[in-house]
Each structure stands twice: as structure tokens, then as C-alpha cells.
Structure 1
Amino acid sequence: MRTRAVVRQAVADDAAAVAAVRRVVAPYKVMSTAAVRHLLTVQAPGERFLPLVAERDGEIVAWASAGLNVWTSEPGQAGLLIFVHPEHRGQGIGSELAERLHQHLTEVGAVRVRTFVQPEGLEFARNLGYDGTRQMHYAGVELTGLPEQPPTPDGIVLVPLDAVDPRAAYEADSIASLDEPSDSPLDAVEYDAWFEEIWKNPSVDKTLSVAAMAGDEVAAFTVVETAGDRMWSGMTGTIPPYRGKGLAKLVKSVALRKAAAAGLTSAYTSNDDANGPMLAINNWFGYRRVHTELCLLRTL
């Protein structure tokens, strides 16, 4: 008989084990050990972030987290994620993690919780009171045989993200994020929190990430995160005055080629089902869907 799993709060030293569980459960979600450690240690105080792990016989077999969304003007919005190793499912671990996290979110004032689940987890989530809203598609591409790079429009200069002033990058990111499909608008992103959580994320490779500059203004950008020989597109966006010029496709093309030249072999990304323009761009690059998750909501 297996010993009972023990749920406890996650700490920075759990990062490697948590990253390993994530890769087994969702290999299409690229996140390095360094990025997990950053996630565990860097949050805005207002998030009231609670990370948990379930441990059995000294081995971490599940990981979960929840916290308030402090990047939206809508009060009480929260997020929750649970990853249970396939060999340890059906034993109440996910239910215990969910109960602990829902209790925590209630105590810190959450009124609505968003989660993402794989199709096989839909029944479990619905039994907890979650209902569906959207789909999130995950896709990957091998970094060989990429299509020809589009031309650079007049007045645009392409630079690596490490050559961009972080304040300019923040302004472009916060503007572009307003149009991201979401249950709550990303309309309250503060610079200091963005700088700590995004700009200083150790998995972001600013030499591979690319910005299209129009003078001193970031017109478009793509953020590359890396883990081993794989890359993840953290965000690709164009601010409204420069849309319709193919800049998103251009910066992503440059970034993918730079990643291939740096020895990376595959790239992954995610897109909301409603984000038709970005889905079309990724299809042009040859991305092929590897998984679809369901975005679900629960009112507390």
C-alpha cells in the first residue's frame, strides 16, 4: 500500500522537482527550473500567491498554485492551476490541493477563479463547480525549414530585446496585452511588478527576443523563453498604430531563426481560440497543434 501524500507549501528548493512534474503532465508548456524558482520567489504582495506541492516518500508528485490577478482592474479575480503526475491520480491528491487553494482564495477575497484543464480533467473540474468559457490551443514547430523571412518595412529597425529600454518594452507590452482574449482585461499592469516578474524572469532570453523599433517606440515585439533546447513564445504583440504591416510575423520570424542558430531545436506557443490573427501567423510558420486545454471559471 502506498503511503499517503503530504501537502505542504512549496519552497524555492522544490523548483527542479516541480519543473519535472510539469514536463510530465504538460510537456508542451516550456518552463525551465530557473523559471519555476522565479515563479516561487517573485510575486507582487497583492497576489497573495500560494504554491503547494504534494509529496510522497520524499518525491514531489503534484504541484498547484493560486493567487489573485493584480493585473486587472476587476476586483477579486484569481487563477488556480493543479498538476498531478499521471501515476498518482485518482487518489484524492488533486481534491486536497483544490480544497486548500479554494479556502485560501476565499480568505484573501477572491470572487471568481480561472483555471485551465486538459480534456481528461474536465469532469474533475466540473465536479468542483467550474464551467467552460474558452479553449487554449498549444502548438509546436521544429526549427528547421522555416519559411522565408518577411521584408522589413521602411522606418522599422529590428533589435534584440536587450537593446531596448525596459520602460519602452513595458509600455508596448501593456498596450498590446489590452487586446489579449481574456475573462478579465489586463488593464492594471504596474511597471515595478512587470519589471520583476517579466523583465527579470531568468528564462527570458533577451538576445533571442526581438523588437521592431519605430524611432524610440517599440512597434512590435516577441519574447523568447528557453528551457534546454526548446523555446516558448512568451508574448508577441504589436501596438495599434503599427498593426496591419506584418510586424508580428516579422519579429517572430527573426526570433525563430535566431533560436535555431543558437542551437534550439523546437518552439512552442499557445493561443486563445479567439485569437485568429496570431493563429494564422503560427500556421504560416508551420506550427502544429499538440494539445488543447479548456479555460474554466468558478464563482466563489
Structure 2
Amino acid sequence: MTVTVRDLRPDARADLEGFARVRRAALPFILVTPESLAHDLTHLHPDAHYRPLVAVDDEGEVIGTAQVHLTHESTVAGQGNLNVYVHPRHTRRGAGTVLVRAAEEHLAAHGAARLFAWVLDEPGNRAFAELHGYRESRSAHFLRLDLAHGTLPPPQDPPPGVELRPGSDYADDPRPLFLLDAETTADEPSDVDTEFTDYEAWLRETWQHPLFSPELTTVALVDGRPAAFSAARTDGGTRYGTVMTGTARAHRGRGLAKLAKNDSLHRARAAGLTEAFTGNDTGNGPMIAINTWFGYEICGTEVRYVRELG
């Protein structure tokens, strides 16, 4: 069998659908749709040199995918990312190897000196990464909550001086949420430091993303100013994902993130969503404890692998 690698294009509907199908089969904990893929292709910052790839078999079926880009928001230059996933029915056919090779060549051509890849915590996947020269780094959990049949903690009334509002209330001016997102993201555990400084890029990549749900996003205000939030995505069906939950530094330790997320989850269930997903660095004990309190259970683990080029 011959495996061919080609670029994913926003106008190639069959490849977009194939990419989404492979990702859902290999990594069912992350929301992805053909529309979200097309949006990323046309709206990610040019400095990311974003280049998603598909591996196609002799019959034209997409059997593998790669998301490839530079971390242009990092304070350290030359850091690249490649996340390769092959459909579970089509492993050991060479698709992963040709995708890795094409991804590494692209990143090296754009100045990447250190490469990061998330790998599912399974023996075959780990061995594949190590065979290609990658070394183990940090890890993260995927967590799932059964919204349809699980028992959420009861809704909580905010304390005096705190107000809960949907993110959609900021449709006319989302900048306060950008500033809150930038502050909380900067403090997340990670191998790579990031700084959100480009408001227009954040609008395109986050606020206007087709999966983002400002209606189900909850913001906790203290004395009228955003202090914590839980940002929600949906796939247009029954699946909900929390992509960021955090609190401004000046307001941490008051339970505001838990308050915001509880409100978002209750509104998601009321809207008919049945599954909730999130992810946490394995070292982020406080957030894992919060999600356990909600009833989330670990459903998968990824390991970050790193390779130095040159």
C-alpha cells in the first residue's frame, strides 16, 4: 500500500471530513468539525505557519492527520508543534512516519529548533515517538462528565459583590475577556511559555471560532469587572468542552472559577448537551480537584514528547 501526504485545504470538503473522522476516532475527547478545521486554516496567525496534513491510502481514504505549527505566541523563538494521529484501524501502515517526516521538514524550514508532540499514553504510541528521537516530558489527562445522567453539584448563589454573566453579554466588546484569558493562560503549567498580546488574532482564533459558545461561557464579575471565567465550546450536537477555566491573580482562592464552571455546566445541560470534556496537566492538582468535585472522570492521558533539532 502507498500512503500519500498532502496539505489540508479549506475548500477540500472530503479531506476536512476525513480529518475530522480520524481525529474523532483516535482522540474522541477533543471537539473537532470540518467547519472548525476550515476556520483554523484561514484564520490562524501567519507567524504560526500552520500546515495541517492528511495521509491518504490508495483508495483516497484519509487514514492519518497532522496538525503542524510554530508557537508564535511564545516568549522563546523556534518552538514547533506536531500532533500526529492515525485512525486506529490503519496503524502500522506507514502513515504516521510519513506525516512526522513532512511535519518536521516544514517546521525546520521555518526555523524550529525544538519540537513538541502530544502522544497518547499507550505503549505503541510511546515507542513510536521514541523511535523518532523524541523524549518524554510532562503529561495531561482528558476528563469526561456524563451530563445527561450524572449528578452535578447544585447551582450556587454567588457571594456578595460577585455576579455571574454569560460571555455573550460581551459581544459588543470582548476585550475584557481577552485580558482575563491572557492573564490566566500565562500561568498555566506548560513546557512553553505563551503570551497573548494580539487582540485581533484572539478575536479571530478564539472569540469567532465556530466551536466557541459565548452563550455557554460563564464570567464571574467582582464589583462589575471580570475576575474568573469558564470558556465553553460545543460541536453543534450534544458534546461540550471546557477549553479554559481560570481566575485573575488578584482574585484567586475564593472559588470563583468553580462558581463560573458550575454555572456553565448547568446551562449546558439545560441546553440539551449530554457529554462534557476537559483536560488538565497532571501537575495541576487544584483544577483536577475541582473537576473531580463536578463528577468528571479521567478517560485518557497524553504525554508531551520533545525533540531537539540539529
TM-score (norm 1): 0.96
Give the letter aligned to residue 73 of structure 2. W
C-alpha deviation, 1:206, in angstroms = 0.7
Which residue of structure 1 aligns with residue 267 of structure 2?
258
Which segment is superposed worse, 234-243 or 9-18?
Answer: 9-18
C-alpha deviation, 1:249, in angstroms = 0.5
Which residue of structure 1 aligns with residue 80 of structure 2?
78
Which residue of structure 1 aligns with residue 6 of structure 2?
8
Which residue of structure 1 aligns with residue 288 of structure 2?
279
Which residue of structure 2 aligns with residue 51 of structure 1?
52
Query: Equivalents in 1 of 2:52, 2:241: separation in Å?
Result: 23
Report matched runs for 1:117-266 at 5 Å: 117-120=119-122, 121-143=125-147, 144-164=150-170, 165-227=173-235, 228-266=237-275
Q: Deviations over 1:146-184 (max 9, x none)?
A: 012233121111111011231101000000111100111
2:163–2:224 CA contact under 8 A, matched in 1: no
Query: Equivalents in 1 of 2:114, 2:87: separation in Å?
Result: 26
**Secondary structure, in 3 states, of the residue corresponding to 2:176?**
helix
Which residue of structure 2 aligns with residue 101 of structure 1?
103
Give the letter aligned to residue 54 of structure 2. V
Which segment is superposed worse, 62-71 or 168-177?
Answer: 62-71
Q: Deviations over 1:241-278 (max 9, x none)?
A: 11111011011000000000000001010000111111
Runs of 4 or more consecutive aligned structure 1 residues displaced over 3 Å after TM superposition: none
C-alpha deviation, 1:215, in angstroms = 4.0
C-alpha deviation, 1:37, in angstroms = 2.0
Which residue of structure 2 aligns with residue 24 of structure 1?
25
Classify 1:189/1:125 alpha carbon distance in 2 versus 1 (closer, same or farther; 3 Å): farther
Query: Equivalents in 2 of 1:223, 1:35: separation in Å?
Result: 16
Query: Equivalents in 2 of 1:297, 1:117: separation in Å?
Result: 10
Query: Equivalents in 1 of 2:274, 2:68: separation in Å?
Result: 32
Query: Equivalents in 2 of 1:260, 1:277: separation in Å?
Result: 24
Give the letter aligned to residue 156 of structure 2. P
Identity of aligned residues (%): 37
C-alpha deviation, 1:67, in angstroms = 1.1
TM-score (norm 2): 0.93
Q: How many residues align?
A: 298
2:3–2:94 CA contact under 8 A, matched in 1: no
C-alpha deviation, 1:88, in angstroms = 1.4
Query: Equivalents in 1 of 2:197, 2:285: separation in Å?
Result: 24
Query: Equivalents in 2 of 1:215, 1:8: separation in Å?
Result: 52
C-alpha deviation, 1:36, in angstroms = 2.0
Query: Equivalents in 1 of 2:117, 2:38: separation in Å?
Result: 21
Query: Equivalents in 2 of 1:229, 1:280: separation in Å?
Result: 25
| Unaligned residue ranges in structure 2 (runs of 5+) | none
Which residue of structure 1 aligns with residue 62 of structure 2?
60
Give the letter aligned to residue 125 of structure 1. A
Q: Deviations over 1:107-149 (max 9, x none)?
A: 1000111111012311100111111111110010111320122
Which segment is superposed worse, 139-148 or 171-180?
Answer: 139-148
Query: Equivalents in 2 of 1:287, 1:136: separation in Å?
Result: 14
Q: Deviations over 1:211-247 (max 9, x none)?
A: 1122452100111111120111011010011111101
C-alpha deviation, 1:188, in angstroms = 4.5
Query: Equivalents in 1 of 2:261, 2:88: separation in Å?
Result: 34
**Secondary structure, in 3 states, of the residue corresponding to 1:8?**
strand
Query: Equivalents in 1 of 2:196, 2:152: separation in Å?
Result: 37
1:150–1:249 CA contact under 8 A, matched in 2: no
2:63–2:95 CA contact under 8 A, matched in 1: no
2:151–2:295 CA contact under 8 A, matched in 1: no
1:118–1:293 CA contact under 8 A, matched in 2: yes
Q: Deviations over 1:75-110 (max 9, x none)?
A: 111111101111211111111110111111111000
